[in-house]
Amino acid sequence: MSIPVVQLSLDSIHKSFSSKDGPVPVLNGLTFDVMEQDFLSIIGPSGCGKSTIFNIIAGLLEADNGNMIYRGSKIQSLRGKVGYMMQKDLLFPWRTVLENVMLGLRVRGEDDANGVEKARDYLNTFGLSGFEKSYPQTLSGGMRQRVALIRTLLMDPDILLLDEPFSALDYQTRLYLESVLLDAVAKFKKTVILVTHDIDEAVALSKRVVALSGRPTVVKNVHQIDIERSSPIEARSHKNFGEYFHLLCSELDIQTRKDELV
């Protein structure tokens, strides 16, 4: 078995925001590692600063102090190396599906013919071939999120930052898109950091889960999730799924019935 290689380290990251009553500390020395081709989920109470962590990694915010180390070198941000996908698909309604997925490539100035061919390959892979000329308002929520995921992957980021991308969808659609995501991550050998409030989703998808405290936020624990997952549905049927589910619920002080089926 190969030894996991650290891709990104967050070392004692601090962040406060100003208010009329003075500084409000949000991150209080946050420290954890992300491995190459990791699927790492971050869970924690509402308002604990999960999105702040993403914004610092992506270069949208600066940490007050602490270090980020990427593949052995200290950096200020991972701008240009991450793809950031949010709960809202943020598709432009006046652009077709193909134009939406091509947007990042065109901004970057890639050759249009090569970009279109690559985009069509992705659309075919994700079951959206034939919808190239469709507009977002004609698509279902799940299809729109697939378009948003393709747009993110097409930029070939080193790390995918996923901020609750499926939380607004119905359960059946979420299961399907979780499977699409896992297949894409394996095919394109990507590292994923997922922020989620859904413990079920964190256990089903993740190799490791970072559990955060309330504000000011620190890492309470990092849990290894040892589950065979040929699909998210099969992961939920694994004999150890319930044990991990209850363990993570206890980290967040979520009360669950002992006889609850998970």
Query: Would you list the DSSP string of 188-239?
Result: HT-EEEEE-S-HHHHHHH-SEEEEE-SSSB-EEEEEE-----SSHHHHHTST
Residue 69 lies in a domain: yes
Task: Report whether pLDDT(261) > 80.
Answer: no
Q: How does residue 240 score in pLDDT terms, banded at 50, 70 and 90?
A: very high
Whether the bond into 216 is cis, omega within 30 of 0 = yes
Q: What is the CATH number of the domain that holds 15?
A: 3.40.50.300
* pLDDT, tens digit (0-9, with 9 covering 90-100), for 157-171: 999 999 988 887 888
Range(s) of the domain holding residue 236: 1-81+161-170+192-262
The pLDDT value given to residue 173: 87
With respect to residue 105, please indicate whether it lies within any of the assigned structural domains.
no
pLDDT recorded at residue 49: 86
Chain centroid to Cα 18, Å, comes to: 27
Give the whole-angstrom CA distance, residue 259 versus residue 125: 41
Which carries the bigger pLDDT value, residue 187 or residue 12? Answer: 12
Q: Is residue 92 part of a domain?
A: no
Per-residue pLDDT at 256: 44
Is 70 exceeded by the pLDDT of residue 2? no
Cα 58 from Cα 190, distance rounded (Å): 16
Does residue 122 lie in a domain region? Answer: no
Mean pLDDT of 76-105: 89
Is the residue at 110 inside a domain? no
Residue 59 lies in a domain: yes
pLDDT band at 257 (very low <50, low <70, confident <90, very high): very low
For position 28, what pLDDT does the model report?
94
Number of domains in the chain: 1
Distance from first CA to last CA of the chain, Å, rounded? 31
> Does residue 7 lie within any of the structural domains?
yes
Q: Is residue 97 part of a domain?
A: no
Residue 195 pLDDT: 93
Whole-number mean pLDDT of the chain? 88
CB 194 within 8 A of CB 206: yes
